[in-house]
Structure 1
Amino acid sequence: MAYQLISTYNFSFIPTLEFNFTRFFFNEPEHLRQQGGEEVYTFYWKNLENQLLEARFSVIILAGKGFSPLRATFGGIEFSKVLPKESLLTFIQSAFNTLPKLESVQITFCPENYLSMNQRKAIDFCFEKLSFKHCVVDQNFEIAVTDLSFYETVNSSRHKQLLRKSLKNAFLFQQEKELDFALIHAFITRSRVRKNRKMTMTLVDLKQSFALFPDNFQIFSVIHEKKMIAVAVTVKITNEILYTFYLADDEEYLKFSPTIYLISGIYEFCQRNNFKLLDLGIATEKGILNEGLAQFKQRLGAKKSLKKSFFVQF
């Protein structure tokens, strides 16, 4: 089967052909434009027989190095479930041959549970052939959204008890409609400082994300007696995947673990809106496991999947 490489520079051309693969929000041109960098190369793999685009890959260049992504949770190569691994390899080789001379390229893929088994095997096959090295392998956790209630997905009696306690104390879950970004950003920042995690978005970044992508970003909260005690910022990755970008809680309410009730509400939101996967994010820091966080997510019914970053130095 014959394929054609389509190469674009700084979004000078965006093909209008149909995509034969799942497209992730972080790899869309609109989001790539917000990630910064000096130059952006995007490559498409066109099937000449059916005129469909079978793969897409963007590289952002900064200071002589390539990144996919530069500023996002993941980037990587999107491709059809039926694309042969040999054809995927040819696409990646062709893309790298088209890039300008770079010092290195780093690629972070989506969590493996986003992909089919054949896609996972194809990625490993290609990067082994290309002698790319794993620079980081993170552990990600996702909850499959089914007809079961969230209470039924939880596999910890203690977490179920905390859910009941939240209901007994009349905690209120809600989607924030009238957004007080300064209040929300400050709340998340305090929570992350307490956990020794840096804040990755400025207040301006947060406001801009909601202004540019109102259909992709949402904020949910838990309220007790008019006080905000837990907050989540979520991102719609696809129509079937919702990602919890930030989870934060109030230190005074830790004995209630309001994050559990918060995730319960988001899970029900996913059920109502036909999402299939609720991504709770990683439980690692540069590949080093936070066992307590991993156990917390697993007890909520989340399953582990690997999130791989590859690195090549020229």
Structure 2
Amino acid sequence: MAFLPFLYLEPEHLSTQTVGQIYEFSLLRQDPPHVIAIFQCIEMPDSSWISPPNAPFGGIQCGTDCQESEIVFFINCIKKWINDRSGKQLTIKTAPCCYEADQQRLLHDAYLYTGLIPVQACVNSYINVDGDDFIAHIRPAEKRKLKKAVLAGFRAGPAHEISSQVTYEFLAHCRESNGYRMPLTLSQIEILKHKFPEAYQIFTVVDQEKIIALTLTVRVNDHILYNFLCGDLPEYRVYSPVVMLMDRVYQHCQRENIRILDLGISLDGNGVHKPSLSRFKKNIGGKECLKMTYEITFR
């Protein structure tokens, strides 16, 4: 059984002012002993627990043959352990519902049964990757922008040799130009690329030798690719180079037999829903599903 790779950073590389040690829980079956579910969380300074604080999603991951009763038992064990450590609250930010839909429904029922309450439901966008070209999924306005970028001579594709320094500086510049903070430090990007070299891949659009758009993607599992961090230069917005960028990422998904290209949720720098970003994702073929966050408070 293959679990989704968690997007987390080792505790020694995180500020002790913000998070503590990462704890991993495993649920095992006997005869022979084998892991059927895992869960990771971190204790915060205020004695609340979060799964996970520095990742787009987390929650319980389990095998396809897991039963709800097993997951309920697992959650109750986790709750007791945290409660015994005087934990005040547990927050679980889960994967989008389009990921392994049957498992997400099972986990949702188990969370509710064990007292976890949905506290946030964000709209998540994703593209179903099929045999059609990317251009068949996008709206006419985006097709014109893609054609304009091609006529301008821009090139797009994977950037295997690009350094973490260049990646960080480009994304930070793009986000700062929009008034957003960079969610990761340079050292954190280096750690992620070092720990998961097969899972993290960078794609760029270049004007001659100048990078004008870039995305850092994560191979979540055999069938899902997550568009983790993406940016483009403001002075090139008239070309909308992100459309060309997504075209190349989509082609990569087709070659790798990836079924879902996850575009993520559409929030601004303050964590508020951003309608313009949501519309853009729809314009490039994005469909919508929910991404849930659950909480339980311990008395």
TM-score, length-scaled by structure 2: 0.89
Equivalent residue for 2:4, pick from 24, 34, 53 = 24
**Alignment deviations for residues 163-209 of structure 1 (CA, whole Å, 9 cap, x no partner):** 11122222101221222433332221121122222101112222232
Equivalent residue for 2:94, pick from 79, 90, 109 = 109
Q: Please tell me the residue identity of whatever aligns with 2:36.
A: E
Q: Say what the alpha-carbon RMSD is for the aligned residues.
A: 2.1
SS in 1 for 2:285: coil
CA shift in 2, pair 1:277/1:32, >3 Å:
farther
Q: In structure 2, how many angstroms separate the alpha carbons of the residues matched to 1:128 and 1:242? A: 28
Mapping of 1:24-43 within 5 angstroms?
24-26=4-6, 36=14, 37-43=19-25
Equivalent residue for 1:266, pick from 249, 258, 268 = 249
SS in 1 for 2:98: helix
Which range moves more in the overlay, 120-129 or 275-284? 120-129
Please tell me whether the aligned partners of residues 41 and 51 of structure 2 are also in contact (alpha carbons under 8 angstroms): yes
Counterpart position of 1:170: 153
Q: In structure 1, how many angstroms separate the alpha carbons of the residues matched to 2:116 and 2:183? A: 28
SS in 2 for 1:220: strand
Query: Structure 2 stretches of 5 or more lacking a match?
Result: none
SS in 1 for 2:6: helix
Mapping of 1:8-23 within 5 angstroms?
19=1, 22-23=2-3
Does residue 278 of structure 2 align to residue 290 of structure 1?
Answer: no
TM-score, length-scaled by structure 1: 0.85
Please tell me whether the aligned partners of residues 176 and 219 of structure 1 are also in contact (alpha carbons under 8 angstroms): yes
Query: Structure 1 stretches of 5 or more lacking a match?
Result: 1-18
Does residue 122 of structure 2 align to residue 138 of structure 1?
Answer: yes
SS in 2 for 1:112: coil
Counterpart position of 1:255: 238
Counterpart position of 1:6: none
Does residue 28 of structure 2 align to residue 56 of structure 1?
Answer: no
Q: In structure 2, how many angstroms separate the alpha carbons of the residues matched to 1:185 and 1:70? A: 20
Counterpart position of 2:286: 302
Per the TM alignment, residue 254 of structure 1 is displaced from its structure 2 partner at its CA by 0.5
Counterpart position of 1:82: 65
**Alignment deviations for residues 83-140 of structure 1 (CA, whole Å, 9 cap, x no partner):** 22233212211222233220111111111101223x2332232222233222322111
Q: In structure 2, how many angstroms separate the alpha carbons of the residues matched to 1:52 and 1:128? A: 26
Q: In structure 1, how many angstroms separate the alpha carbons of the residues matched to 2:5 and 2:13? A: 13
**Alignment deviations for residues 20-47 of structure 1 (CA, whole Å, 9 cap, x no partner):** xx411116xx855577443333222223
SS in 2 for 1:305: strand
